[in-house]
Amino acid sequence: MNVAVISDTHGYFDPQLPELLRGAQEILHAGDMGTAEVLDQLNAIAPTHAVRGNIDPASLDLAPTLTRRIEKTEIYMLHELPRPQSVLKEWNEASPLEGKAADRCQRFLAEFPESSRVVIFGHSHEPCAYVLGGILFFNPGSAGKKRFSLPRCFGLLEISRSGVRATFHGLERYNDDLPASAWLPVGEARAW
């Protein structure tokens, strides 16, 4: 199953999205949608589920977290992680972790539901895909207007019986700075 993952649109619906998201059976929006119109436009492409971001008005009636089971994969979604995204990057690059870093990582992983295999988040506008402790942490980046020096992009989760692949797709002419894809095999145990 193909699931499009989008975040941080900030009220902007990129006109490329209907074509680029064609074939997605579902869309997950990780917050900072900005307006109900963006949700309506995404729902016109595929059924869309979203969480509330820090700029989203209460009138959008979005929950701060969402759990979805797609096939046999449980996905937990929130807008902002309880730790900075940069810490995930450090843990990923330093793996295997030892001592205090390993203890902090274990406490972080324990903050998510035990059955979660994928954690989708946004907020930083910086795309990333890391597998830590048997969980795929996936930030699709920002699909809104260009901010900072980060690429404009969205993500795709390909969920199959053998696992989950996370990939990035650019919304700009040049997309050289998109991260590599990540793979989470279905049998990988959730542990550190």
pLDDT digits (tens, 9 = 90+) for 8-40: 999 999 999 999 999 999 999 999 999 999 999
**Tokens of residue 37, six digits:** 């119109």
CATH architecture assigned to 2-185: 4-Layer Sandwich (3.60)
Token pair belonging to 105? 């990582």
Q: Alpha carbon of 37 to those of 3, 34, 57, 113, 123: distances in Å?
A: 21, 9, 13, 31, 20
Kindly list the domain boundaries of the chain, sorted by start residue: 2-185
Binning pLDDT at 50, 70 and 90, where does residue 190 land? low
pTM of structure: 0.95
The rounded mean pLDDT for the chain is 93
Of 35-39, 75-79, 175-179, the range with the lowest mean pLDDT is: 175-179
